[in-house]
Amino acid sequence: MKKIIILLLAFALTACGAAPVTATEAPTEAVVQPTQTAMIVVETVVVTVVPTNAPTEVPSATPLPPPTDVPPTAVPPTQAVTAPTDAATTGGPITADDALGGGWFVNLTRSRNDFSLRCQLNKEITFTVKATDPNIRQVDFFYRIEDRATGAVFDWQNAGRMISDGNGTFTIVFSGDKVNANFRKPNAWFDYQFAGSNSTGVIGRSEKIEQQVAYMFDCP
């Protein structure tokens, strides 16, 4: 009887050591969780490539001139005036007709036919005249400006006394900047006249010598 009990106990212990596996028991293998997939966003940049040999805009071969305030018929200020036909005669004095002396003067000469306000090459002009009456002790030089662009004629101006040589010949050197600033025109005639006087006043005048000398601002 004692042996039977011992065998039963041994059987019972053996049964308890091996526990049965049920259908609901979780498998012993580790469950691998799915990994998080990163979303990669690719931004597409559109680049416009301009070819290096692309044609460029070519300006017109004859661009329009800039606007100007000068009327079409007016002569531009920088345009040189046309001197009288004998203006090229600069090697010696230019002699005017004695008839222009009005019977009071002869040998009416000038050094050139054009002069200017600023050009050093022709800024000065020399006038010379000889009185026919010995009573003329003084000669005054008068001038006026004629604007060739508009036709305007300005008042006569007294440029002062000419220098006497003591033998009846009188000379004056006239500079372009001596022209009255109110009457300076870049395209003009320089008219002139001689007035002879003695101690009592003017006794004789030459004719008005017109449109023989050109006056300008700059070199021709």
Which domains can be identified in the chain, with CATH numbers? Answer: 94-216 (2.60.40.10)
Predicted local confidence at residue 220, as pLDDT: 84
Tokens standing for residue 144: 């006026």
Tell me what percent of the chain is helix, strand and coil, each rounded to the nearest 5.
10, 30, 60
Residue 71 scores a pLDDT above 50: no
Q: What's the confidence (pLDDT) of residue 46?
A: 44
Nearest Cα residue to 180 out of 197, 157, 146: 157
Other CB atoms within 10 A of residue 75 CB: 17
Cβ proximity of 160 and 194 under 8 Å: no
Res. 30 pLDDT band, cuts 50 70 90:
very low
pLDDT in tens, 148-197: 999 999 999 999 999 999 999 999 999 999 999 999 999 999 999 999 99
Q: Is 192 helix (H, G, I), strand (E, B) or coil?
A: strand
CB atoms within 10 A of CB 169: 16
**pTM over cut 0.85:** no
Residues 96 and 109: beta-carbon distance below 8 Å: yes
The pLDDT of residue 133: 96
Residue whose token pair is 């002569």: 75
Residues 6 or more apart whose Cβ sits within 8 Å of residue 150? 74
Q: Determine the pLDDT at residue 39.
A: 46
> Which residue matches tokens 């449109």?
211
- Give residue-wise pLDDT tens across range 91-128: 679 999 999 999 999 999 999 999 999 999 999 999 99
